[in-house]
Each structure stands twice: as C-alpha cells, then as structure tokens.
Amino acid sequence: MNIVERFLNYTQFDTQSAEDAGKTPSTDKQLVFARFLKEELIEEGLQDVELDADGYLYATLPANTDKPIPTIGFISHMDTSPDASGYNVRPRIVEAYDGKDIVLNEEKGIVTDTKTFPELLQHVGEDIIVTDGTTLLGADDKAGIAEIVQAMVYLQEHPEIKHGTIRVGFNPDEEIGLGAHKFDVAKFNCEWAYTMDGGEVGELEYECFNAAAAKYQIKGVSVHTGYAKDKMINAARIATELVGMIPETELPETTEGYEGFYHLLSIEGSCENATLSFIIRDHDRKKFEARKAFMQELAQKLNNKYGNDVVTVTLKDQYFNMREKVEPVKHVVELALKGMEESGVKPKICAIRGGTDGAQLSFKGLPCPNIFAGGLNFHGPHEFLPIPSMEKAMMTVVNICRLTAER
C-alpha cells in the first residue's frame, strides 16, 4: 500500500472530536479508527502495539543495529476538528494542478479560488487531494499518521538504513486541546519526539503561544425598568462594556507574527447574569503574565464602578511556549532541519500562532517540535493536501531516524 492509498483509507473514518464531552476520547468514533490503526500497525510489523482505554495508541519499531542510539518518537492525532463535518468524506485527486480555481462541488457552487487561497499556486503541476466541498478533508492530522506509518514500513523495507528504537504514538482529542493530557510520556519512553502536525511543506515549529483561558461571571440586579434608577445593575450591558475595554489593536484579527492577543470566544447574558469566555495568547512569557494581570484589572475596575463582587474572573493556564524546553536540546531541531534538507525540502522555521500537543508534551518532559504534514486550509471544505508534500514529510521522518543513528 502506498502513502496515498493509506491516507485515503483514513479519511473514510469520521473522527470528529467534541467540546465539553466530559470523557476521553470525547467521541466513541475515534476509538473505531484507533482499533483499525492498531490492527494495521500489527499487520505492518510493528511491535508492542497497545491501545489503552482512553484511545491512546502506542507502538514500536525495534532498532536494527546494536549501536546505542537514543529512542525517539513520532506523534500525530486521530481526531478532526469540530468546526466542520468529517462524515462521509469524498476525497478527489486533482492531477497535475493547472493553477486555476478548483470546482469542488458544481451543484452547490463551491469553489476553491486562487484569489482567496493563493497558497494553491505554490503547488502548480502537483497532484492535489481535495474535498467535495461538503466536509473537511482530515489531512489535519491523518496525513501525519499516514506519513509516520509509511515511514515505518519504508524503514523495514530498507534494512540498510540503520536506526535505533522508534516509538509511534497516536492520540485523540488534539483539536479540543486535550490530546496530550493523558499521553503517557513514561510509557512512550523516548528522549525526544516530533509531532507531524504542521501545515505547508518545510514548516518546522518549536515556538508556540503561552495560553490561558479567562471566564467572567457578571451578577446583575433586575428591577422593573420604570423604577430602575439607582437600583438596576444590567449584567448584559456590563458585559458589553467589558468587551469594549479590550484594545482593538490586540485582537486575533488585528495581530500577526509574535504579537499576542485577547480573543472573545463567547458572550451570553441577561439583566441578571452574564458570562464571557476569553482566551489569552502571547509568545513572550512576561507579556503573557501581564495580559493575565490586565484581565484581572478589568474585573477590579468594573467592581469599583458597580460594587464589589459584581464581576468575578477565573483564569486558567492552558499551555506554555515549548521553546523554553526545546532550546536546551537544540540538536532535536537541527536533526529535523537536516532531515528536511535531505528530503529535498527547504526548511522554514516559524512560530505557531496557536499550540500543538508537542507544547504540552515538552512540559511533561518530552521535547517535541512540530514538523509539517503538508495539508493546508484545515478545518473546512477548502482543505487540500499536495501529494508531494506528504511524500516529503514521510521521507523527513525516515531521514531523522537515520540521522539520529549516525549522530
């Protein structure tokens, strides 16, 4: 089986995760795919294949040399985003892409046009996998899984390539921020690892946001509007006042690169009660802590204005910038860069304006940069996957295994 067939097989599994499910994995359908992958890994000759009750799948490719070599790992996630349907995915291969707009669904008038998605033009002449316009594709992150599995097959078919013990791990619920929470780093037993979960070919990421969530509860006082003077406290109106206190220059839609932001996820309320949920992001740890302090100050300012305990805020750290844990072992990055170059890929180091499982794993003791998987326009019907990018990602995995042994 080649890598394209493998990926196309994976897309037939609906593995959408779900927010606030209160269980792991968040959806039972992820386990259906995990069981399929378990059998596939066994059939492909991997050892120590284990699927735990929470849907975490681990396996080993034994070393083919007696030379002492660090055990390294490769990780991808099985779930797809809740943002778009992953049911009944109908992938199609556009052969030798000609640089024009791609009609995904003529009946529904769904087109991936090059003006909106100029990244298409970087792949003229290549075979590209697209959707039928009604679902996402699932390259995030089934492309990563296909690349890792195919690399393990390739290494077994080429015993002349010497490598140490290789561990692979596939986890649920990355898309809802819980992928690394129950990942058993001790069981995985690697000195370092890589997540295959990046986008465009050549991307290598070992910097991400520091991340926190802020939730405000506003307690109002409801009084008949005819008699409300000096009595009513309108929680819904205070909520809008709070939103107006966030600088407009520090929002996701007004920032880029290393610029941090505050993002309003949801707001709901009435005169008596209102709730707001924000996320806070910044690459710089000091600025991140200052942002959290600012959110607390907003609550205090409103309480000074409307009375104590009208506004309460709860802050919760989500993950931290993995650079802090990766830089002391920079050879992990250098191996990935060389592995890309030897696969014919020009590396592009970027900072993630988000987070990966690797960020949390790095703080659990497993340094874990993120490597491109090749897909683009994730989480929607315009997602596409250039086949050469997937093949180069697979060879990057192979080269990292070889280079680790040579090192």
Active site residues: 79, 174
Q: How far apart are CA 288 and CA 320, in angstroms?
A: 10
Instruction: Answer yes or no: are the C-beta atoms of 128 and 94 closer than 8 Å.
Output: yes
Cα separations (Å) of 120 from 8, 323, 376?
20, 30, 9
Taking each helix axis from N to C terminus, what angle separates 285-306 and 235-244, rounded to the nearest 10 degrees? 140
Cα separations (Å) of 387 from 8, 92, 266?
11, 12, 38
Other beta carbons within 10 Å of 77: 27
Helix (H, G, I), strand (E, B) or coil at 35: helix
Q: Which of 208, 204, 206 is nearest to 341 (CA)?
A: 204
Question: For residue 19, what is the DSSP state?
Answer: T
Question: Each residue of 380-400: b (16+ CB within 10 Å) or e?
Answer: ebbbbbbbbbbbbbbbbbbbb
In 174-250, at which residue ranges do the beta strands (DSSP E only) sit?
Answer: 192-198, 203-207, 210-219
Q: How far apart are CA 209 and CA 188, in angstroms?
A: 25
Write the DSSP string, 59-100: EEE--SSSS----EEEEEE--B-TTS--SS---EEETT--SS
Q: How far apart are CA 221 and CA 367, in angstroms?
A: 50
